[in-house]
Amino acid sequence: MTALLNSLEARDTAFVLHPYTNASQHLENGPMVIAKGEGVYVIDNDGNRYIEALGGLFCASLGFSEPRLVEAAYRQMKELPFYHSFGGKSHETAIELAERLIKLSPVPMSKVFFANSGSEANDTAMKLVWYYHNAIGKPEKKKIISRNRAYHGVTIASASLTGLPNNHRDFDLPIDRILHTDCPEFYRYGHEGETEEEFASRCAASLERLILEEGPETIGAFFAEPLMASGGCIVPPPTYYEKIQAILARYDILLIADEVICGFGRLGTMFGSESFGMKPDIITMAKQLSAAYQPISALMINAKLHEAVVAESQKIGTFGHGFTYSGHPVATAVALETLKIYEERDILGHVRSVVPLFQRRLNALREHPLVGDVRGRGMIGTLELVRNKATKEAFKPGDGVAIHAGKRAQAHGVITRALGDNFSFCPPLIMTEPEIDEMFDRSTKALDETYDWAKTSNLI
- Concatenated DSSP letters for 80-146? -S----GGG---HHHHHHHHHHHHH-SS---EEEEESSHHHHHHHHHHHHHHHHHHTT-TT--EEEE
Find residue 178's DSSP bridge partners: 144
Q: Whose CA is closest to 38, among 63, 57, 68? A: 63
* Strands of the 49-52 sheet, one edge to the other: 34-38, 41-44, 49-52, 414-415
Q: Is the dihedral of CA 291, 296, 297, 302 positive or negative?
A: negative
Average pLDDT per block of 10 residues along the chain, 460 residues long: 65 91 89 95 96 96 98 98 96 98 98 98 97 96 97 95 91 94 96 96 98 98 97 96 98 98 97 97 98 98 96 93 97 98 98 98 97 97 96 92 95 92 96 98 97 93
Nearest C-alpha neighbor of 146 from the set 171, 170, 134, 129: 129
pLDDT in tens, 121-168: 999 999 999 999 999 999 999 999 999 999 999 999 999 999 998 889
Whether the bond into 174 is cis, omega within 30 of 0: yes
pLDDT at res. 397: 83
Which among 439, 454, 318 is positioned nearest to 49, based on CA atoms? 439
Q: Which residues of 79-116 are buried (b: 16+ CB within 10 A; e: fewer)?
A: eeeeebbeeeeebebbeebbebbeebbbbebebbbbbb
Q: Residue 56 gets which letter from DSSP?
A: H
Q: Considering the domain 69-344, what is its CATH architecture? A: 3-Layer(aba) Sandwich (3.40)
Give the pLDDT confidence score for residue 1 in this predicted structure. Answer: 43
Q: Report the alpha-carbon distance of residue 354 to residue 416 in Å, rounded.
A: 20
Torsion of CA 348, 353, 356, 358, to 10 degrees: -70
According to the model, what pLDDT value does residue 6 have?
63
DSSP, collapsed to helix, strand or coil, labels residue 39 as coil
Using a cut of 0.85, tell me whether the model's pTM lies above it. yes
SS3 state of residue 296: coil
For 165-215, how does the pLDDT look when each residue is reduced to its tens digit (9 = 90+)? 888 999 999 999 999 999 999 999 999 999 999 999 999 999 999 999 999
